[in-house]
Every structure is written in structure tokens, then in C-alpha cells.
Structure 1
Amino acid sequence: MFIFIIICICYSVLMLMLLYGWKKIPEFSSKNLPVEIRFSIIIPFRNEAENLPILLKSLTEINYPNSKFEIILVDDESEDNSVEIIKEFQQTHLDSNLKVLENQRTSSSPKKDAINTAIDSANFEYIITTDADCQVPENWLKIYNYFIVKTGNKLIAGPVALNSLPAANTNNRRKNILRNFEELDVLSLQASTAGAFGIERAFMCNGANLCYNRQAFLKVLGFTGNDNIASGDDVFLLQKFQQGNYKIGFLKSRESIVYTTAQQNLGDLVSQRIRWASKAPAYKSLFAKFTGISVLLMNLSLVIAAFLVFFQLLPYQPILIIFLVKFNLDFILIYSSAKFFQRETVLRSYFWSSIFYSFFSTYVAVKSLFSDFSWKGRQFKN
């Protein structure tokens, strides 16, 4: 029981630190400042025919001078008609500064290769990345311009949220339950990401909404040193910018939220989370390791305790207290995030999600240590 209490204390300290960091970061809104920053928008894609129309439409609605940004899409050996969709788009939007490149493979990470391919061809001083299954906001570049001019940051992490549930799926109860669980997880990750930035212990960011200075990227040698890991085009680059003493920040602004597509089923969600978790052992930050170990041990201890209580090997009262401590601290953090993203309604699923999450998180963590994972129709070794 003593071990359970120590784990709970460490986890509680972590949650309070992240909550403090989240509250510490001020919210930004776009101002009528002169346009100074030029952006190269980079989007790798593979078999994204279903999602590209939504992405391309959002790109046409960006409120920023056309001469100040370019769009570079990198085809990573798509087997569907993704390239044809983009070419049709080009023909109907002749004024868009958009080009399509073929991915030049040089490493074990297709996505990092795709970003390198695009950066070699980029013309502007700031790189901003997103994913092909995303939708970018109208003032995306405008708010980044303001934030960069005001702060001088060389790397900026932006917020990411799930798209609103399509009307066609509102009666699909199973899909709604899964989506609500995923959204709560995303809200937790976003609050943790921003919270770590707020206490100057940043260790996470999301490549679906990430901006960085091109020259700084080249000076830290880009992805060199971690290109043997399939994922991590975002967090390992963040680590390199920190090691290079470049100024970094989190852009806490509703105008900068990039919306991404929810996973279609539980298998896809598990596979995605395993891919994300697979890079955790390569984290160099002590705070990142403390976070990973604390979260894993907290969830694992609750799973073990549940079985011990079931077989009457432990009294349920102290385990219930530990669960309630975690339940309430997690709720406060997720509520803060849900309020920012204006998604408070999803908190109706918080109770059952909090019970299931310990089992889900433990399974993903253990699985990521010992198994390979699939991504975009490819198999990758851990």
C-alpha cells in the first residue's frame, strides 16, 4: 500500500505542475499587425484521397497574402488517387502557390524524409507543418505572424483538436463512445503539452500544428540522429531546439486550432497511441521521463489494485481514495482544456472514460515496448 501512496503523490505533484503551467500561458488573439513573416506550409501525405478535399478547401480560405506563403505537399508513395485530387485542385486554383513533390527516402522514417524533401525546396523563412487529415483555421498564419513578431520564438507548438462529429454518425452509439473517449484523451494531451511549456519543461508537441524557423532547423541538423525512429518528427525536433537554446513557445489561441480526424475504430486508436508511445524511451528530458513513468505507474497501479481488491487481497477504501484523487485532478486539467477548446459537453463521458483509461493506457504502454506497429499501410519495428 505504501508504494501506491508514493505513486499517487508523484502523480498529484505532476498534475498540479501541469495545471499551473496551463494557467500560466496567456491566450492570444490576432492583431492588425503588418505581415512580416513568410511561411512554407508542408504537408506529407499517403493515401489521403478521402481527407484531402477538406484540407485543400481550408487552405484556400487562409486569410494571408498569397505572396507571403507557399504550400508544399509531399507524396509518400500513395496508392490511391490522392495526387490526382491535388492536380485537379491546382487546375481550378491557378493563383495558389502550391506544388507537389515526390518523397525522397533516405531514412527509416517516411514522414521525416517527406519534411526534409519539402524543406530542401522551401523558399520562406518559417516552416509550418500539418497533416493531410486536418483542417486549418482561416487566421492560422495571421496569428502565427503576430506571435512570432511579438515573442521571437523559433519553434511554436499550436493546439490540435478533433473535428466535430459529422451528423451522419450521431446515431452510431459505438462510434460516438469511442470518439468521446479519444477526444478526452486529446484534451488531456493538449493540456499536458501546453502545461509543460508553461513551466518551461516542454517535451511534447504535435506535428499537425507546428511552426519553426527554417535556418534554425538546418543549424540543429534537422532530424539527424533520430531518423531511425519512424515517428517523432515533432518531439525530437523540439528537443533539438531546446538543446540549441532556441526560444520556444506554445500558441494558446482559438484562432490557431487545427482540427484533425478522429480514428475510425478502437484498433486504429490503439495503433496510433502505440506509435506515439514508441518514441517515449528516446526522450532526453528528465521531466519527460518523470511524466512518462508517473503516468504509467499511476495507471498500472490502479489496474493491479483493481484485481487485488477483486480477489480481496486489498481493502477497497484506500484504493478508492487514490482513484478519486486521480479522478479529480485529471478532471480539473481536462476541464481547463475543454473550456479553452469549447468542448465542455464531452465531459459527460468523463466518468466511464476515466475508469477505462487506466486499462487502455497500461495496455498501450506495455504494447509499445514489445511490439511493432502499423502506420499508413506499413509495418514499422519498434
Structure 2
Amino acid sequence: MMLIILLFVCFSYFLLLVCLIVGFRKLPETKFKKTPSQTNFSVIIPFRDEATHLPNLLASIAALNYPESNVSFWFIDDDSQDDSCTIIEELSKKHAIQNVHLLQNKRQSNSPKKDAIVTAISHLKNNWIVTTDADCMLPENWLHMLNQKIVLEQPKMIAAPVTYVEEMSFFKYYQLLDFLSLQGTTIGSFGIKIPFLCNGANLAYQKDAFLDVDGFSGNDTLASGDDVFLLEKFVQKFPDEVVYLKSKDALVKTYAVSTWKAFISQRVRWASKSANYTLYTGKIIGIIVMLMNLLFCVLPLFLFGVFSWKVIVLIVVSKIVLDSVLLLQTLQFTQQKIKPFFIFISGITYPYLTIFIFIKSLFSSYQWKNRTFKK
């Protein structure tokens, strides 16, 4: 029985990875084209105590290659205690950024970010909403690429890529690999037409469609998940009109956290929403991945006469190789450095950290923006 369970988990995981790798390659990369700027965008940026990152964000907004008359920027202040609001006002004037609006968040639920988005939406006239984060930097042709996708394919929602600013330390590079494993999975899942992940730092959707699926209703008790839960609603309501913009010109960059404590808290926050997924594809894939990581962690126990060491080595090597292939594809797409030794060490340590974070997410609260959120 033990052998059957092991083989089933391994087969399911390896088949999943192969499908994601194929799906990643199958999804075509969108190239820059000269497309009329037909779409009017409202960019929503919730923030809380982001004085450190806002100057870089505002500089990237000033450099955007898109008609100013076709875009408005909505900064939603979630009770900041620093100079964030002053920085937005001063740098908007300095960079001559037009159509900047600064609003105070209206708290209605357990999710500050969802409340911020809803607060902004109540003021919007444009039908296309784009969300990003205050600690991001936007590529020059970001809105142009979104407009291009809208003009050519007429979707209801567009998910797009995000990566970390690359830094040299192993800790920061580990976070990059961990983050890109999610990005690679996201791209691969769209490639095989079973999307179940996206990132709210680079997400666009129609306001009318948002209202049609009743927005965040049903999951606003959860602090996290403004992106994935909304994606699930769109996939259920508009299965053929949710697309992925696989383009280097649309790649948004953000920052890794500085401490292990912050990293664990961030990942616990991300993991805490997984139990509330509504799409069975997301739940099944999550279970397969978690079981494989758990199996990886306990494999050394099987050395004592249960399985041949050759079988164990084969499983370990196969997992690391397939994980690495998906990571390498994603690193090549984001045009970031490939560090084989760091990738190997990360492949060994990743399952243990993942299981620890998953277990912690089941029982523990987490810190986010100097607030404590309970399970």
C-alpha cells in the first residue's frame, strides 16, 4: 500500500510538471505591435506606509508610454502612518503626472486591500481596471501591451507577469526562485487552459465584468486573495475570456522582503487562502504539490529497509530536475540570471520550508502591514 501511494503521488506530480512545462512553451509570447491606444484605463494602487517604494513607482508611472488622457491613477491610502501621501502629491507634481487621485480607504471587511479596490471602483468612469502595488515598478510599455491584448482579443480579464528585482544574496535569490515557481505555474496553467493563479500586482479586468461577478463578495472575510478569488469568479463566468499576457514588455517588478520573519509571514498569508479555493483544479493541483513536498521531506525515513536507495534517489533527482526546468523557462522569460548552485540548494530546501509554511498557515495568525490577521 505504501508503495502504491508513493507511486501515485510521484506520477501525479511528475505529470503535472510536464503539463505545466509544455503549457509554458505552448502559450505564445506577445510581441510589441503598433496598436491604436483605444482603451481607457483606471490604475488602482492601494498602499500603506510605502514611503520607501513610492518614488520608484511614481518615476516608472511618469515614464509610461501611453496617452495621459487615456489613463487615471487612483492611490488608496489604507491608514498610512508615514509620509506616503505627501510623497504622492509632491512627486506627481514633480513628474507632471496627470489624472492622479488620492483617496482614503473605506474599511468594510476583513480585507484592507479588497476594500481599497472597492473604494476606488466606486469613483471610476473607465471600464478597464488595472491593479498594481505601491512597491512595484512598471515597464514603459505596460499599458500599451494591455491595450494591445484588449484590442486584439477582447477579453474580460488579463493576468500578466510579475518578478522580483534581482539581488545577489542567496536569501533574495531563493525568494526570486520561490516567486518564479508560482509565475511559471501560472503561465503553464494558462497554456493548458486551466488557469487557477494570478497576481494582483499585474492584473486587469473590466469594471462591468467585476460588478457582474459581484466583486469580492463571498471571500471578503479573508484578508488575502484579491487576485485569485476574483480570477476564479471570472473563469467560472467567462471561461473563454480570461487570458494571460505573456510579454516581457508587460513584466512588472517588485521587491523581495528583507528578513526571514517577513518572508515566513508573507508566505503564510499567501498559503492561508488556499483552503478557500472554489475551482477544483486549483485545489487538486495544490494537494498534489503539497503531497509531493511532504513525500520529499519524509523520504529519508524510507531508507531504513522500506525502499531501495536507488528508488529514493530517482524520485529526488526527478523532482529537482522537473522543478528546475520550469524555473529555467521562467528565468529565461524574465531575463534574470541563472545560478545553478543556488537553484540546486533551493530545490533541496524548498519542500521543507513549504511544508512548514503550510502547517503554520493552518493554525497561526500572520503579520501584514503592521497588522495581525487571525486564521
Q: Report the TM range for the smaller structure's normalisation.
A: over 0.9
Deviation, structure 1 residue 336: 0.9
Q: CA deviation at 1:207?
A: 0.2
Moved more, 250-259 or 94-103: 94-103
Question: Hey, what's the Cα distance between the residues in 1 that align with 2:337 and 2:261?
Answer: 26
Task: Write the mapping of 1:57-72 to structure 2, written as runs, cut at 5 A.
Answer: 57-72=59-74
Aligned residues: percent identity? Answer: 43
Q: 2: distance between equivalents of 1:95 and 1:366?
A: 45
Would you say the 8 A contact 2:57–2:136 is kept in 1? yes
Q: One-letter code of the match for 1:131?
A: D
**Offset at 1:346?**
3.5
- One-letter code of the match for 1:30? F
Q: Taking structure 2 as the reference length, what is the TM-score of the superposition? A: 0.96
Query: Which residue is 1:217 aligned to?
Result: 210
Question: In the alignment, is residue 74 of structure 1 matched against residue 68 of structure 2?
Answer: no
Q: Which residue of 1 aligns with 2:9?
A: 7
Q: Which residue in the other structure is 2:291 paired with?
A: 297
**Is the partner of 2:8 in helix, strand or coil?**
helix
SS in 2 for 1:134: coil
> In the aligned structure 2, how far is the partner of 1:381 from the partner of 1:314?
41
d(CA) in 2 for partners of 1:320 and 1:164? 32
1:184/1:346 contact within 8 Å kept: no
Matches within 5 A, 1:139-288: 139-165=141-167, 170=168, 176-245=169-238, 247-288=241-282
The one-letter amino acid paired with 2:127 is E
Q: In structure 1, how many angstroms separate the alpha carbons of the residues matched to 2:307 and 2:97?
A: 68
Deviation string for 1:86-129 (max 9, x for gaps)? Answer: 12123324452101100000111000000001111122110001
State the alpha-carbon separation in 1 of the partners of residues 335 and 206 from structure 2: 30
1:313-344 per-position Cα deviation (integer Å, ceiling 9, x unaligned): 65432211111111111111111111111124
Cα contact 1:335–1:347 (8 A) shared by 2: no
Partner residue, 1:33: 35
Q: Decide whether aligned partners of structure 1 residues 346 and 183 sit closer, same or farther in structure 2, where only a CA change above 3 A counts.
A: farther
SS state at 2:201 partner:
helix
Greater CA deviation, 128-137 or 95-104? Answer: 95-104
Question: For 1:96 and 1:327, how far apart are their aligned partners in 2?
Answer: 48
Match of 1:130 among 125, 129, 132: 132
Question: Helix, strand or coil: the match of 2:98?
Answer: coil
| Alignment CA distance shift 1:117-1:324 (3 Å) | same
- Counterpart among 329, 338, 357 of residue 336 in structure 1: 329
Write the distance in 2 (CA, Å) between the matches of 1:307 and 1:180: 30
Question: Quick one: distance in 1 between partners of 2:339 and 2:101?
Answer: 38
d(CA) in 2 for partners of 1:262, 1:125:
32
Instruction: Find the aligned partners of 2:267 and 2:36 in 1 and give their Cα distance.
Output: 40
Maintained 8 Å contact 2:58/2:92? no
Q: Which amino acid aligns with 1:82?
A: S
| Alpha-carbon RMSD | 1.4
Please give the alpha-carbon distance, in whole angstroms, between the structure 2 residues aligned to 1:34 and 1:61: 19
The number of equivalent residue pairs is: 372
Alpha-carbon distance in structure 2 between the residues aligned to 1:300 and 1:359:
8
The answer on whether the counterparts of 1:184 and 1:347 sit within 8 Å (CA) in structure 2 is: no
Kindly provide the amino acid, as one letter, of the partner of residue 265 in structure 2: S
Mapped to 1, the partners of 2:321 and 2:40 lie a distance apart of 44
CA contact (8 A) 2:135 2:254 kept: yes
Alignment partner, residue 173 of structure 1: none
What stretches of structure 1 move > 6 A for 4+ residues in a row?
none
Matches of 1:54 and 1:77, distance apart in 2: 21
* Paired position in structure 2 for 1:42: 44
**Cα offset, 1:137, TM superposition:** 0.4
Alpha-carbon distance change, 370 to 108 in structure 1, aligned in 2, over 3 angstroms: same
TM, length-normalised to structure 1: 0.94
- The residue that corresponds to 2:349 in the other structure is 356
